[in-house]
């Protein structure tokens, strides 16, 4: 299989019957697709938008067991996540790496309390441990976090966890599933189920949003892996379905590296709302987040609330000298977590709800998976396919993903942002070697090149300018205004590669300008101006 939409649609048109059809192309759905295809099942995945457009590209970029979950007593989830963290490092070393975190301590008691907890965290990782937690003196904390506030500082703790590029890993999962024979299709919206005489789901209709054509496929089982949208799909199956999920929003702000200092990350263990807050170096910037704000509705492009932005900035100000202000924010973004809808008690408290996943089988045979976290995507995929095998009486085949190198796998280290391409970097470099104009940057302040736009069009299933800016490279999340300035060049290159006309370019640029407003604090953003955010 070739990873292009044309090839995917062609395969669907020529193959009407599937073993497993998955709705949802985020971390969970893509993990299921890799698991199912690698076991040999005939697998189709449809995603209404782009791969990982929702929550799966808007995480805090951490592959971790969850220090906070350990404090909440969710030992089972932490133990499982630490194991899965180790497997991500083994299977996708090009998009994941070990990150040093520093917790500054302003009392001896907190210093000892956190060290004991983190020693337990290390121990639980077992043979997959990636570093050793240790006490730091005041001087060592300042060396690692030059911008930390020193008044009352009593030292700190250093521990190690994982970091990754979420959207790049998602694309690699789609590519891996395709390499094992799956069809993964973005911009394909599930619209209806077909059922047999006994009311069991045995088919799915979806619309190719690019052509407007509806496709009907038969399948032995359908899996609903749509995150915050699981209830929408369940209502296609049972119109009277009552919501399982209530979204919780996690907001982030992106600032320049100078506000933190070196390559060590900051972990603030006890914020005013009882959460933890991270300041993490990422692609030459610093990501500050996250929040946990219960919402009553879900949408594909949530916007951080004013109170979330103020909370992040004020918390950072408690720990950092010359802390960032609104004017220093390069980009803001938010993701929605699919948490269990509260049935009683405090409907506005989400921090105590387990982030573990839940599997549900409807009377119709529809399988739904909800909850979970990026780190445990592989285990979620394994458990979901195991249930699908039983539900559809598929021929038994053991899980293969424990030790399955993902697309791009390489142990080689590449400079800068080239690292996340892994083994694909060689081919992109060859494009630039053969045509030096392809080495031109799409924005003077960032390293992303014309060659990467061309590569994404040929090999990474981009459909819209947004797909490239937000998820193939991460410029929208790193610097929203710079991404807007680069958009005309990107749109022009994409139109040439995808065979689009000037009308497409104009429509894409209008759509993208509207989108960028969600990622800035400035109410009016224009290609023709360079406003200061704030």
DSSP secondary structure letter of residue 56: G
Torsion from C-alpha of 208, 46, 331, 60, nearest 10 degrees: 180
Rounded Cα distance between 182 and 401, Å, is 15
What letter would DSSP give residue 457? H
CA count, 13 A, side-chain hemisphere, 205: 10
- Rounded CA-CA distance 479/54 in Å is 19
Cα separation, 51 vs 169, whole angstroms: 10
Instruction: Match domain 97-162+247-340 to its CATH number in 3.40.718.10, 2.40.10.340, 3.30.9.10, 3.40.50.2300.
Output: 3.30.9.10
The CA-atom distances, in angstroms, between 392 and each of 195, 358, 367, 387 are 14, 19, 10, 9
Q: How far apart are CA 233 and CA 47, in angstroms?
A: 12
Q: What is the DSSP letter of 471?
A: I
E runs forming strands in 51-129: 62-63, 96-104
Pairing of strands 277-282, 285-289: antiparallel
pLDDT for 407 equals: 98
Per-domain residue ranges of the chain = 5-55+167-244+350-392, 97-162+247-340, 416-517
Contact by Cβ (8 Å): 341, 246:
yes
pTM equals 0.94
Q: Return per-residue pLDDT of the chain as tens, 534 residues.
A: 689 999 999 999 999 899 999 999 999 999 999 999 999 999 999 999 999 999 999 999 999 988 877 777 778 888 889 999 999 999 999 999 999 999 999 998 888 989 999 999 999 998 988 999 999 999 999 999 999 999 999 999 999 999 999 999 999 999 999 999 999 999 999 999 999 999 999 999 999 999 999 999 999 999 999 999 999 999 999 999 999 898 999 999 999 999 998 899 999 988 877 778 999 999 999 999 999 999 988 899 999 999 999 999 999 999 999 999 999 999 999 999 988 765 544 444 444 445 678 999 999 999 999 988 999 999 999 999 999 999 999 999 999 999 999 999 999 999 999 999 999 999 999 999 999 999 999 999 999 999 999 999 999 999 999 999 999 999 999 999 999 999 999 999 999 999 999 999 999 999 999 999 999 985 444 443 333 333
Report whether 426 contacts 419 (CB < 8 A): no
Smallest CA-to-CA distance from 466 within 451, 449, 453, 450 is with 453
CA angle 37, 40, 43 (to 5 degrees): 40
Pairing relation of β-strands 156-164 and 62-63?
Answer: antiparallel
What DSSP designation does 219 have?
Answer: E
Determine the Cα–Cα distance for residues 196 and 206; give it in Å rounded to an integer: 18
- The tokens 């739904």 sit on which residue? 368
Q: Quick one: tokens of 163? A: 């970091």
- H-assigned helices in 331-414: 377-392
pLDDT at residue 524 in the model = 42
Identical topology for domains 5-55+167-244+350-392 and 416-517 = no
Q: Which helix (H) or strand (E) holds 135?
A: strand 134-136
Q: DSSP character for 372?
A: -
State which H helix or E strand residue 183 sits in.
Answer: strand 183-185
Task: Give the fold, CATH level 3, of 5-55+167-244+350-392.
Answer: FAD/NAD(P)-binding domain (3.50.50)
Q: Which fold has domain 416-517?
A: Helicase, Ruva Protein; domain 3 (1.10.8)
Distance from CA of residue 497 to its chain's centroid? 27
Q: What are the distances in angstroms from CA 19 to CA 92, 182, 317, 319, 388?
A: 27, 11, 53, 53, 9
- Please tell me the predicted confidence (pLDDT) of residue 70: 73
Of 356, 357, 358, 367, which Cα lies nearest the Cα of 390? 367
């Amino acid at each position: 299989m070739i990873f292009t939409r044309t090839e995917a649609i062609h395969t669907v048109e020529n193959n009407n019957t599937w073993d497993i059809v998955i709705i949802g192309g985020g971390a969970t759905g893509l993990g299921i697709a890799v698991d199912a295809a690698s076991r040999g099942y005939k697998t189709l995945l449809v995603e209404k938008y782009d791969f990982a457009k929702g929550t799966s590209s808007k995480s805090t970029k951490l592959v971790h067991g969850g220090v906070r979950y350990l404090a909440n007593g969710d030992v089972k989830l932490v133990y499982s996540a630490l194991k899965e963290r180790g497997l991500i490092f083994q299977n996708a070393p090009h998009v994941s790496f070990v990150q040093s975190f520093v917790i500054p301590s302003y009392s001896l008691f907190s210093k000892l309390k956190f060290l004991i907890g983190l020693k337990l965290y290390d121990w639980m990782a077992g043979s997959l441990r990636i570093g050793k937690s240790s006490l730091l003196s005041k001087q060592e904390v300042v060396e690692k976090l030059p911008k930390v506030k020193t008044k009352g500082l009593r030292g700190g703790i250093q521990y190690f966890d994982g970091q990754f590029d979420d959207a790049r890993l998602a694309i690699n999962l789609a590519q891996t599933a395709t390499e094992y024979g799956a069809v993964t299709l973005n911009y394909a919206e599930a619209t209806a189920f077909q059922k047999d005489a006994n009311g069991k789901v045995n088919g799915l209709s979806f619309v190719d949003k690019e052509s407007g054509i509806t496709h009907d496929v038969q399948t032995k089982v359908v899996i609903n892996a749509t995150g915050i949208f699981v209830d929408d799909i369940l209502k296609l199956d049972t119109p009277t379905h009552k919501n399982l999920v209530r979204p919780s929003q996690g907001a982030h702000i992106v600032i320049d590296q100078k506000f933190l200092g070196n390559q060590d990350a900051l972990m603030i263990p006890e914020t005013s709302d009882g959460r933890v807050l991270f300041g993490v170096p990422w692609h030459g910037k610093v990501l500050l987040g996250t929040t946990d704000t219960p919402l009553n509705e879900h949408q594909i492009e949530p916007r951080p609330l004013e109170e979330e932005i103020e909370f992040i900035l004020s918390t950072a100000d408690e720990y950092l000298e010359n802390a960032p202000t609104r004017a220093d924010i390069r980009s803001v973004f938010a993701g929605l977590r699919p948490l269990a809808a509260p049935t009683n008690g405090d409907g506005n408290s989400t921090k105590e709800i387990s982030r573990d996943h839940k599997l549900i089988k409807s009377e119709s045979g529809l399988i739904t998976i909800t909850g979970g976290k990026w780190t445990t995507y592989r285990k979620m995929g394994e458990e979901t396919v195991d249930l699908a095998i039983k539900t559809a009486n598929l021929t038994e085949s053991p899980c293969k993903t424990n030790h399955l190198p993902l697309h791009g796998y390489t142990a080689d280290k590449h400079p800068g942002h080239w690292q996340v391409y892994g083994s694909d970097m060689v081919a992109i470099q060859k494009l630039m070697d053969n045509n030096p104009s392809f080495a031109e940057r799409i924005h003077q302040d960032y390293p992303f090149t014309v060659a990467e736009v061309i590569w994404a069009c040929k090999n990474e299933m981009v459909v819209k300018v947004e797909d490239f800016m937000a998820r193939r490279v991460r410029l929208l999340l790193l610097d929203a205004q710079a991404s807007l300035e680069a958009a005309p060049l990107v749109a022009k290159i994409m139109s040439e590669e995808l065979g689009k006309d000037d009308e497409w370019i104009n429509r894409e640029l209008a759509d993208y300008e509207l989108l960028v407003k969600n990622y800035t604090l400035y109410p009016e953003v224009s290609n023709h101006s360079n406003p200061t955010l704030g």
